[in-house]
Structure 1
Amino acid sequence: MTHNSRWAFALAVVATGTALCLSVLAGWQRGGTLPERLVWIALGVVLVVCAHLLPALVRAAPPVVRALAAALWAACMASACYGHATFFLLAQQHAGEARAQTVTAVVPITPSASGRNLTVVMAERVAVTRQLQFARMQRCPRDCSSVRARRVMLAARLDALDAEAEDIRRLQATDDRVTALREALRADPVTVRLAALLGTAVTRLDLLAGLMFAAVLEGVACLLWVLALESRHTVMGTTIISPVVAVPVVPDVTTPVMESVTKPDRELATVSYKSAPAAQVIVHDRDVRAVDDAPDVELARLAMEVAAGRLRATVADIRRHLSCSQARAAALRRQLAELSATA
């Protein structure tokens, strides 16, 4: 494994581990009882792993399997992003509540002295005002001291009610300011300013940001696993030689040849050619070594695979298909290009 492939593998493991942690936390928060939480966690883990590894595992599969895997991969990605967005929104909500709790230490909210609300105070003020008006309209024939005392008492009571109402209004204004400050602290500062700039709601922008973070994480993890497994497959593929090689033979050429070659350090290798539209060349060898002395066979095989649509004429695909070196794959790619140009 090369240095770059090691880095790709390490980053892929870190990205998948992060996504799994998000799925575990989101499943734990979304479930009510313990069995429900465990099921949510298991579902999130399966979806994340499938979303990360499916693109790397089905690269060499037939087209029908790749199409089905692409549909399942899209569903897994959407489900994983939904779960991650749930975690991001709940985390933002918890952080906002923690920030809002710090406001009480800065602006304390104290109740009024009487503990009554403004509606009760204003109702009593109306009653006292009516009584004061009646006392002022009252006429006394002889001694007016009691009437004057009642008037003074009602006026003082009215002033006290006015002061109490003013205190309640001041406390309500303070409460409104604290409530507004708490609401402002519940939202992320960057999200609030960005929502004001874009002219949209803060909650909508929070949802879009959560989905974006989840999609970026899932996409990066998928790409890293593709790179990591591709590097491992390429390195391992250089020592694995397929024992069966199928090449096309021109139907008009009917020259059967049987050749036996005996070597001191190797077992008997028998090569048989048959005249048929789908003839095969079968090589049996215990050492399973590369057949570098048959470039025409490899070129014919690649041409047949490319014509059938089972292989792309790229250096990476040729290298993976034949398990050969980079230089050999590049040479075969040039020969294929020349062959298609002459055709």
Structure 2
Amino acid sequence: MAALIRPFFNRASAADNEGNHAGDSRASFSLVKRNSLQAAKVTLAGTATATSLYIAALSGLERGGSLAERLACTALPVVTVAGLHLLPALSRGQLFAVRGAVAVLCAAGLAVTLSSQISFFQLAQQHAGARRAESVPDAMLVPLPDTPGRSLMAITEDQASARKMLSLLEIHPCHGNCTGEHLRRTTLTAMLDALAIEADEAKRREAAEDRQAVLVERTQQLRDTMRDDPVTARLSDLTGLGKTSVSLLLGLLYAGVLDGIGVLGWYLVMPVRRRGGDAVIAAAVAATTVERVPVEADKALHADNRITPCCPDNEIDTQLMHLMRDVSEGKVKATVADIRNYLGCAQETAVKLRRELLALRAVIIQNSGGQHAGR
């Protein structure tokens, strides 16, 4: 049995080596370019979906009290995000009723996803604001004396009383022995000087307390300002909207852009899956390959042995499969010039691909009963 199977593998490997040496370099470059573009699409879509899933998981962990509640609240937005990103691409080519149900489900899933992501953005902004507020240093306060003096109001009342008594002594002059009156006048004058010094000290103390109060208030205002996002604050000043409304709109914009990139990325990555389309195309390619073998075998009998084909049959079959899918998706037109520019192949290869593509379409329409004729 092994001896019977081994020649087929040797023949296949020899055909592959011959195809690799005889392949068109421009077609290979086109395939590499198309694969690189597909890899970039997958990377972009996967990154957007992974980021959205991570945000959904974090927003779910912030909800619920027990571990089971938090796990349930985490699973809901995660599954919703995965369905929102993948269902539009997976439902391509399906029945209209299926696509309508998917559209309704995705609209509801979008509302769930946006709400969870906006809550995450709000909580993240609060945490960032608290961290920025903690970075503001405390105000440098000068220590005040532990035993504060009297208030300036009380000192002013004592000064008024002393001046009143001194004025009464001056109104009623002394006749005879004025020693006592002179002593009282001296005492009142000294009392007024002491009260003036005490009043100055009270003014300096109250000024220091006022300065400390201003510093504390300024520090608190700076912390309140640091809690707000700078972009949100500037947009609020420009638009006249409240900071809460601007923050909500920005969160909605962030979530919409992220989920939009994920949905569109997977929509571009996944090919169109029509009902029975791949089976019909495969059968048609097999049929055309079987029909082409005797014809090309007859041509090869009359051809010069030195002439090599411009493109191997196995590579033409591969390109034909890709070309059929791309034409059905509307990426390229079924003309020789467009096929040549799209694949980067020779004129002869493009003519052969177009001829077989037209034959493929006829076979597909015949096998599917005309259901793909309008596509």
Equivalent position of 1:213 in the other structure: 254
- Indicate which of 88, 93, 96 corresponds to 1:63: 96
- Indicate which of 299, 307, 316 corresponds to 2:329: 316
Equivalent position of 1:204 in the other structure: 245
Residue 9 (structure 1) aligned with residue 23 (structure 2): no
Deviations 1:105-128 (A, max 9, x none): xx6342651479xxx99x932223
Equivalent position of 1:269 in the other structure: none
CA distance in 1, matches of 2:59, 2:245: 19
Higher helix fraction (1 or 2): 2
Equivalent position of 1:102 in the other structure: 135
Offset at 1:292? 5.9
Count, aligned residues: 257
Deviations 1:215-242 (A, max 9, x none): 01101101111222226x58x964x249
Deviations 1:260-316 (A, max 9, x none): xxxxxxxxxxxxxxxxxxxxxxxxxxxx833868xxxxxxxxxxxxxxxxxxxx933
> After alignment, is 163-172 or 194-203 more displaced?
194-203
Residue 47 (structure 1) aligned with residue 71 (structure 2): no
Please tell me whether Structure 1 or Structure 2 has the larger radius of gyration of its CA atoms.
Answer: 2
Deviations 1:23-42 (A, max 9, x none): 12222234444333222211
> After alignment, is 131-140 or 66-75 more displaced?
131-140
Offset at 1:100? 2.4
Residues 13 and 129 of structure 1, relative CA distance in 2, 3 Å threshold: same
> After alignment, is 59-68 or 79-88 more displaced?
59-68
The residue type paired with residue 232 of structure 2 is T
> After alignment, is 206-215 or 36-45 more displaced?
36-45
Equivalent position of 1:113 in the other structure: 144
Residue 132 (structure 1) aligned with residue 184 (structure 2): no
Equivalent position of 2:295 in the other structure: none
CA distance in 2, matches of 1:86, 1:179: 27
CA distance in 1, matches of 2:225, 2:154: 41
CA contact under 8 A between 1:112 and 1:171: conserved in structure 2?
Answer: no
CA distance in 2, matches of 1:90, 1:207: 12
Unaligned runs of 5+ in 2: 1-30, 170-179, 289-326, 331-353
- Indicate which of 184, 193, 196 corresponds to 1:152: 193
Residues 207 and 109 of structure 1, relative CA distance in 2, 3 Å threshold: farther
- What's the secondary structure of 2:271's corresponding residue? helix
TM-score, with length taken from structure 1: 0.63
CA contact under 8 A between 1:9 and 1:228: conserved in structure 2?
Answer: yes
CA distance in 1, matches of 2:359, 2:134: 65
Offset at 1:328? 4.6
TM-score, with length taken from structure 2: 0.58
> What root-mean-square deviation, in Å, do the aligned CA atoms of Structure 1 and Structure 2 show?
3.8
Residue 289 (structure 1) aligned with residue 283 (structure 2): yes
> After alignment, is 211-220 or 46-55 more displaced?
46-55
Residues 109 and 51 of structure 1, relative CA distance in 2, 3 Å threshold: farther
Higher strand fraction (1 or 2): 1
